[in-house]
Amino acid sequence: MSIAIIAAVGADNAIGAAGNLAFHISADLKHFKNLTVGKPVIMGRKTFESLPNGPLPQRRNIVITRNSDYNYPGVETASSLKDAVELVYDTPEAMIIGGAEIYRQALPLADKLYITQIDATRSDADTFFPDINPEEWNESTEEWQTDPKSGLKYRFACFSRK
């Protein structure tokens, strides 16, 4: 099984502000959907609670929490990242979808990183992606694009572990 991380990351590694995504780019949400549909998605409890419509459809939703009573329809819970990964051991690619706490724990285990790089910062950002050590990863990037609504510049990057 391969473990992949997917994240949208600002120029200063920002990913979140006040419990929400730091940046909203509709092409990135489509990209996220294309890469995750049909695969299990593993997330921290705070990220799960930030989803606007509950569990993500057409995906097995696994929420990591220390609260053993946590219960939500359409969701499986796990008491650690390791337990979450064990739940989906028979899948070709498990997708780690955040947030910062879970990215930090998952980065050493990941084989692949799907990163949307956003050429912007947010002064009120409060959650950040961990540093990606270029010595450990091969990076391939697509062309920079501009989101017509927000004017944000972004590009899709993919890192494979060396």
Ligand X SMILES: NC(=O)c1ccc[n+]([C@@H]2O[C@H](COP(=O)([O-])OP(=O)(O)OC[C@H]3O[C@@H](n4cnc5c(N)ncnc54)[C@H](OP(=O)(O)O)[C@@H]3O)[C@@H](O)[C@H]2O)c1
Closer CB to ligand X, 62 or 162, in the complex: 62
Q: Which two tokens stand for residue 93?
A: 């690619």
Q: How far is the CB of 132 from ligand X (least distance, A)?
A: 14
Strands (E), the chain: 2-9, 14-17, 20-21, 41-44, 61-64, 75-78, 93-96, 112-118, 127-128, 137-141, 145-146, 153-161
What CA–CA distance (Å, rounded) separates 8 from 157? 10
Q: How far is the CB of 44 from ligand X (least distance, A)?
A: 2
110: contact with ligand X by CB under 6 A: no
What CA–CA distance (Å, rounded) separates 41 from 78? 12
Q: How far is the CB of 162 from ligand X (least distance, A)?
A: 23
141: contact with ligand X by CB under 6 A: no
Task: Answer whether the bond into residue 151 is a cis peptide, omega within 30°.
Answer: no
Determine which residue in the list 42, 94, 96, 102 makes contact with ligand X, applying CB under 6 A.
Answer: 102
Determine which residue in the list 100, 107, 110, 113 makes contact with ligand X, applying CB under 6 A.
Answer: 100
64: contact with ligand X by CB under 6 A: yes
Closer CB to ligand X, 15 or 62, in the complex: 15
Which residues between 12 and 51 bind ligand X (CB under 6 A)? 15-16, 19-22, 43-47, 50
Half-sphere exposure of 14 (CA within 13 A, CB side): 21
Half-sphere exposure of 109 (CA within 13 A, CB side): 19
How far apart, in Å, are the Cα atoms of 95 and each of 41, 111, 152, 161? 5, 11, 25, 15
60: contact with ligand X by CB under 6 A: no
66: contact with ligand X by CB under 6 A: yes
> Would you tell me which residues interact with ligand X (CB under 6 A)?
7-8, 15-16, 19-22, 43-47, 50, 64-67, 79-81, 97-102, 105, 127
